[in-house]
Amino acid sequence: MINLKNLFIVCFVTLAISARAQMQPNITDSRLDFSLPDLKGDSVRLSSMKGKVFLLDFWASWCVPCRFSNKQLVKLYDRYKDKGFEILGVSLDDNRGAWKKAVSKDKITWLQINDNGGWDAISAAKWNINAIPASFLIDKDGNVIAFDPEKQQLENKIRQLLGL
């Protein structure tokens, strides 16, 4: 009877691990993927970021906490961009001029795209964004590793994913 109990436990744990792996969000999932214009108007598809360690960052120019977060991200990006870290900023601004001005003022040099639907934006709906800033750390396989990680946790995870 002990062997049957152990077999049941092993099967249960295996299924639980398998289910968790299948539930992990991935940027190549069509339910999460989207394509939006960058600062130049060129289309950028989220799934094109697969193969990179990056932070998917939802924000807007009118969001004070977002603007503070941008200042922190500038430092982080400058520290790790040459080691393979990227950021994809998704602005929910409905005013492209305000978005571009904020990018310039905040000295943002990473890839920026704009989903001008505000809270009704397609990208925000796909990623269930109901507050900003909101960020997702994504590994090279396109898997979401962390949601809104704290500053030190984010840096530790980035270092780990980049093998530093």
Q: In the structure encoding, which two tokens stand for residue 94, read together?
A: 């409905």
The answer on pLDDT for 97 being more than 70 is yes
Q: Above 50 in pLDDT, residue 19?
A: no
Task: Give domain status of residue 10, yes or no.
Answer: no
Indicate the SS3 state at residue 85. strand
Domain count along the chain? 1
pLDDT at 69 over 50: yes
Domain housing 39: 27-162
Q: Quick one: which of 138, 118, 146 has its CA closest to 61? A: 118
Q: What pTM was estimated for this model as a whole?
A: 0.82
Kindly indicate the confidence band of residue 12, based on its pLDDT and cuts at 50, 70 and 90: very low
Burial class (CB in 10 A: 0-12, 13-18, 19+), 20: exposed
CATH number reported for the structural domain that contains residue 138 in this entry: 3.40.30.10
User: Quick check: is 37 in a domain?
Assistant: yes
Asked if residue 14 is part of any domain, the answer here is no
- Examine residue 5 and state whether it is found in any structural domain, yes or no: no
12 part of a folded domain: no
Size (the chain), residues: 164
Sign of the CA dihedral 151, 137, 58, 51?
positive
The 10s digit of each residue's pLDDT in 125-159 is 899 999 999 999 999 999 999 898 888 999 999 99
Mean pLDDT lowest for which of 13-27, 50-64, 83-97? 13-27
Q: Would residue 36 count as lying in a domain?
A: yes
- The per-residue pLDDT for 2 is 57
Tokens describing residue 69: 């977060």
Banded model confidence at residue 27, pLDDT cuts 50, 70, 90: low
Return the pLDDT at 18.
Answer: 38
Average pLDDT (86-98) is 95
Q: Is residue 44 very low, low, confident or very high in pLDDT (cuts 50, 70, 90)?
A: very high
